[in-house]
Amino acid sequence: MSDEDCRYWVGFNKVPGIGAARVRVLLDFFGDLEVAWHAPARDLQQAGLDQRSLASLVSVRETLDLDAEMERLQQAGVQVVTWPDDAYPPNLRQAYNAPPVLYLRGSLETRDEWAVAVVGTRRASVYGKEAARMVCAGLAQAGVTVVSGMAQGIDTVAHRACLDAGGRTIAVLGCGVDVVYPAQNARLAGEIVERGALISEYALGTQPDSRNFPPRNRIISGLTLGTVVVEGDMGSGALITAGFALEQGRDVFAVPGNIFARASRGTNHLIQQGAKLVTQVGDVLEELNLTMVSEQAQARTVIPENKTEAVLLERLSAEPIHVDALGRAVDLPIAQVTSTLALMELKGMVRQVGGMSYVLAREPGVDYVIE
């Protein structure tokens, strides 16, 4: 998206009372946010804005200098990612109420699609911290991106363990990405920018507020394939994140805890309700089919030799897909699909996992030319 188009997304994101639902309404009515930004009040009312939202929009657009706001973002080294952008995280795009605008410091990569959230209490026990370290170090070593909220306690341990293991990690903030909270995590935030990303839906300069954190938890779960809760009481932010994960159709995992410990009441309750019990990182990796992430990520970089290989690679992922479904998805004859897959398997680009189903894979020890 060009800066000219992006500025109107940034503008609407600064209007109180206009979130994902109303942005969608405006896009449906006007077809373009630039047109909506300049629209007269009567047209905005016709589009469906209520009086309060309309008053907020009129006030903001009379006072907000969009050019200055874009310059401010550039000076801060902050990227803006919006719904129409190819860079918008695909896992989050599928989630209900995904934010129209994300502010980003650092970088997002294709491999971040293979991400797991690890969250928990700010008042973590020694046991909880050790469990978080074990899980996050194992995820990082498997090539899985760890997502958390950079809060004190389990979140901080999750990010640190991932970085120490050489992995990528993403922190989703309840404030602007130019604001470090808590302040003692300033060094950690800098390391995350270098080897992952700080992400927020809140505009630059937004200070941490208790109202901001529950909504941001939907982004933590939305970016990932599953959420691991290490420690958390009933009604805690960690359990709110687990609730969002369930709403988004993602897997929920929980580390069991001491039945007498307040911080374990939430995790033990999740297990009673059907969350998958975690005693080792393999419990997460196997359930989410993430045991071959590094190989699958490398396979995506292999240059296909023809158009058929290219379209098949685009459709294949860590999730097994049957050749019949793959043939329908790419609209190619099944004979052409099966013969091409057979050759791709010989090259180590794909792997058959039984029942004529395939996943992305890379043959160990084989180096491919990457341009």
One-letter-per-residue 3-state SS of the chain = CCHHHHHHHHHHHCCCCCCHHHHHHHHHHHCCHHHHHHCCHHHHHHHCCCHHHHHHHHHHHHHCCHHHHHHHHHHCCCEEEECCCCCCCHHHHCCCCCCCEEEEEECCCHHHHCEEEEECCCCCCHHHHHHHHHHHHHHHHCCCEEEECCCCCHHHHHHHHHHHCCCCEEEECCCCCCCCCCHHHHHHHHHHHHCEEEEECCCCCCCCCCCCHHHHHHHHHHCCCEEEECCCCCCCHHHHHHHHHHHCCCEEEECCCCCCCHHHHHHHHHHHCCCEECCCHHHHHHHCCCCCHHHHHHHCCCCCCCHHHHHHHHHCCCCCEEHHHHHHHHCCCHHHHHHHHHHHHHCCCEEECCCCEEEECCCCCCCCCCC
Stronger pLDDT, 195 or 301, i.e. the higher one: 195
Query: Is the pLDDT at 300 greater than 80, yes or no?
Result: no
For residue 192, pLDDT beyond 50: yes
150 and 282 share a domain? yes
Q: Which domain holds residue 195?
A: 110-287
Residue 155 in domain? yes
Across 198-207, 241-250, 252-261, 283-292, least confident range? 283-292
Q: Are residues 256 and 328 in the same domain?
A: no
The pLDDT, as a whole number, for residue 272 is 97
pLDDT score of 363: 37
Return the pLDDT at 99.
97
Please give the pLDDT value at position 3: 65
Is 90 inside any structural domain? no
Pair (243, 327) in one structural domain: no
* Residue 331: CATH number of its domain: 1.10.10.10
User: Average pLDDT, whole number, for the chain?
Assistant: 91
Q: Which residue has the higher pLDDT, 94 or 361?
A: 94
- pLDDT of 158 over the 60 cut: yes
Domain check: are 156 and 263 in the same one? yes
Given a cut of 70, whether residue 163 has pLDDT beyond it is yes
Residue after which a domain boundary falls, among 257, 272, 287: 287
For residues 293-310, average pLDDT: 69
Whether 50 and 187 map to the same domain: the answer is: no
- pTM for the complete prediction? 0.79
330-338 average pLDDT score: 92
Residue finishing a domain among 44, 68, 92: 68
What does the pLDDT read at residue 145? 98
Give how many domains the chain has, as a whole number.
3
Does 114 reside within a domain? Answer: yes
For residue 267, is it within any domain?
yes
The CATH code of the domain that includes 2 is: 1.10.150
Please check whether residues 299 and 269 belong to one and the same domain. Answer: no
pLDDT at 273 over 50: yes
Region 86-101 average pLDDT:
94
pLDDT 10s digits, 22-77: 999 999 999 999 999 999 999 999 999 999 999 999 999 999 999 999 999 999 99
Domain membership flag for residue 116? yes
Domain boundary at 287, 306, 331, which? 287
Could you tell me if 239 and 320 lie in one domain? no
In a domain, 87, yes or no: no
121 falls within a domain: yes
